[in-house]
Structure 1
């Protein structure tokens, strides 16, 4: 295996960690916007932007994993099927929570309600990320994928 090939293989585990950190950062920005939000139109627009951006990024990440990454992992490591199904189930649960957050943002719910939604997403997201990293980082260091990072891990 060439050095370039090894770099790309190692990069999938690095890319996953980077994407997870960017999503954590985006969540923190959305949470800060909620805590700073007031009755002004500017605060409402900022809140809509940050929450919508976070929801879109997290959903895109999970769609990429479900569509490209997880099938490639299962093809190379069939014994990980139950882990991948559990992670996919988490994606569905997080999608449901994101739908609740989006609905609350769309109806201009009070900041306290939005904070509760974000807290729920944060708890499930962090548990999911930690489990995913424990189960898959080592596999990602040897996984051969020719797809682009955006296709595999989402538009971050």
Structure 2
């Protein structure tokens, strides 16, 4: 956990480039906070965690804690936010677990080792902005862009290692998540940040107009990326590389234009 928090959610060794979070629950017996490191999967506005316990006979302690009290705290390394833990049941659990096995066959291996049904839990963020060490509008913008860059890097890596034939369902969800997130971010900029910057710095009106027009182009690129991963084609990787480069270039230009004034 120290390495996780010291490096904004990134760790080395076998978990390099893994999607990790810190989940803090309230002890069912002690009432004290307990924090554990878990792998996770983006799934729309929520994230999914799995109570595999390595295929052991008992559910992990963190699972028992959230059953007693579903109010939890999630740390991604960049942001911290309160969430509600929702245990998936019946057909929904089975459908999601099958999707996770497609993404990583290890989950299926764990299930074969135990007679218990391995739980899948959705962590649903509560209303309100996440907290982080922002300090200023500039820090907030850099944090958000860092999160997008990380996800784009992971998507590209997953495409490169999976190949078009083995492109998993979870990769498609990951991509859709980052696309939706970036669109939401741009909507917030267009409606709030950009007008505020122009009000304080009228000399930036032309630059902001250019950035705003680029939002329309980014929406097109995001739609292309979504289409690529939902209907894989033989030359998927070069196309993903092209779109990821365009998106990263857009983030770079936005930072160069805005950070000095934020």
Normalised by the length of structure 1, the TM-score is 0.73
Higher strand share: 2
1: CA distance, partners of 2:194 / 2:238: 30
Normalised by the length of structure 2, the TM-score is 0.45
Question: What is the match of residue 152 of structure 2?
Answer: 27
1: CA distance, partners of 2:260 / 2:211: 16
Consecutive unaligned residues in structure 1, runs of 5 or more: 1-7, 141-156
Question: What is the match of residue 137 of structure 1?
Answer: 259
Higher helix share: 1
Question: What is the match of residue 63 of structure 1?
Answer: 187
Count the aligned residue pairs: 129
Asked whether the equivalents of residues 62 and 91 of structure 1 are also in contact (C-alpha less than 8 Å), the reply is yes
Structure 1 residue 111: Cα displacement: 6.1
Q: CA RMSD in A?
A: 2.1
Matches of residues 33-112 of structure 1 in structure 2 within 5 Å? 33-38=158-163, 39-40=165-166, 43-106=167-230, 108-110=231-233, 112=235
In our comparison, the structure showing a higher alpha carbon Rg is 2
Q: After TM superposition, where is structure 1 displaced by more than 6 Å over at least 4 residues in a row?
A: none
In structure 2, which of residues 245, 249, 258 is the aligned counterpart of residue 123 of structure 1? Answer: 245
User: SS of 1:110's equivalent?
Assistant: coil
Higher relative contact order (CA 8 A, sep 6+): 1
